[in-house]
């Protein structure tokens, strides 16, 4: 029982640190400010990097539910974020040079909306191909027109 409670405590600490980091990133990060220029925001839900829909208040209960489940699962709530961190690090280390350059610019340079959108589509073309990029462009145009009609 003691080992379980220690796991819950460590998992709770991981969760608090993760949410504090998320709030700081959303407040001060150049990357987040660049994404906001094209109507995208970073998500609070684990495993979802960004979203075009809704407000953060709408997804916070879902994120807190996932966090509560991870805390209740004790050591799984410690191991899972560590695995996610290693996977994220590995993904960045094995990125092609052009993607690393785009990623660096998105995270470190204050870009205008047109440049952010161009780089976003370039990332999609490099990772998923031209056909997927065309579909995303069509979806984005539809989303923008729906947003303008509100």
Q: How many domains does the chain have?
A: 2
Q: What is the 3-state secondary structure (H, E, C) of the chain?
A: CHHHHHHHHHHHHHHHHHHHHHHHHHHHCHHHHHHHCCCCEECCCCCCCEECCCCHHHHHHHHHHHHHHHHHCCCHHHHHHHHHHHHHHHHHHCCCHHHHHHHHHHHHCCCCHHHHHHHHHHHHHHHHCHHHHHHHHHHHHHHHHHHHCC
Residues 84 and 103 in one domain: no
**Domain boundaries, position 126:** 95-150
Residues 6 and 44 in one domain: yes
25 versus 45: the higher-pLDDT residue is: 25
| pLDDT tens digits, 58-117 | 777 877 888 888 888 888 888 988 898 899 899 889 999 999 999 999 999 999 989 998
């Amino acid at each position: 029982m003691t080992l379980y409670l220690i796991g819950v405590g460590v998992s709770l600490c991981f969760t608090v640190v993760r949410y504090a980091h998320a709030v700081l990133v959303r407040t001060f990060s150049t990357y987040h400010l660049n994404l906001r220029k094209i109507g995208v925001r970073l998500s609070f839900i684990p495993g979802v990097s960004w979203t075009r829909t809704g407000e953060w208040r709408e997804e916070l209960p879902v994120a807190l539910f996932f966090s509560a489940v991870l805390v209740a699962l004790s050591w799984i709530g410690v191991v899972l974020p560590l695995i996610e961190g290693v996977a994220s690090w590995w993904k960045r280390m094995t990125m092609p040079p052009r993607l690393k350059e785009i990623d660096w610019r998105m995270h470190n340079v204050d870009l205008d909306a047109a440049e952010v959108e161009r780089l976003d589509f370039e990332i999609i073309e490099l990772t998923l191909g031209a056909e997927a990029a065309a579909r995303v462009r069509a979806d984005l145009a539809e989303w923008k027109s729906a947003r303008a009609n509100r």
